[in-house]
Amino acid sequence: MEREIGRLDGHYILCGMGPVGRSVARELARKPVPFVVLENAETKRQRFATENCLVIARDVTEEATLRHAQIDRARGLIAATTGKTIESSRIRPERGVIVPAIKRREAMHFNPAPDERIEPDDCLMAMGEPAELRQLELTATSKS
């Protein structure tokens, strides 16, 4: 698995395997689109390791984890944040990241309006530079 992770290029980094993460992983695998999962919980990792997913067992908030997942060659990073609108979360002005779509339940919402509320099970599709995506990921996974 380490060799495969080292060869990743143009892939997505999926942070966490909660309900949204599992849904996104299924979509990516069905396409097929290359991706790697970052997950600290052993039970969740084991479930997806048996499905031939690339899984890294490290803390997603650590820079070394994202480097290990080849963030410098990634197409995107997928993480979730809830309870705010796109505008109030200041994703674009503070992070320099564009959100071209939101996956909500089974539907994709393209070009979401700034006042679009981010719901608990939403998955934001984000585009930006690796460092900007890392900052978004840190914001999305913070406990505050």
Contacts for 131 with CB less than 8 Å, ≥ 6 apart: none
Question: In the prediction, which pLDDT does 141 show?
Answer: 58
- The boundaries of every CATH 3.40.50.720 domain in the chain are 2-77
Fold of 80-141: Alpha-Beta Plaits (3.30.70)
Structure tokens, 21? 């993460």
Per-residue tokens: 83 = 């309870």
Q: Determine what percent of the chain falls in helix, strand and coil, rounding each to the nearest 5.
A: 35, 20, 40
**Closest residue by Cα to residue 38 from 81, 73, 69, 75:** 69
Q: In the CATH scheme, what is the code of domain 2-77?
A: 3.40.50.720
The pLDDT of 63-70, averaged and rounded, is 88
Give the tens place of pLDDT for each residue, 36-56. 988 887 877 777 666 678 888
- Per residue in 81-129, pLDDT (tens digit) is 455 777 777 777 767 788 888 888 888 888 888 888 887 777 888 888 8
Which residues belong to CATH 3.30.70.1450 in the chain? 80-141
At residue 77 the predicted structure's pLDDT band, cuts being 50, 70 and 90, is: confident
Q: pLDDT grade, residue 70 (50/70/90)? A: very high
Mean pLDDT of 65-78: 89
Pair 109, 76: CB distance under 8 Å: no
Number of residues in the chain: 144
User: Per-residue pLDDT for 79 more than 70?
Assistant: yes
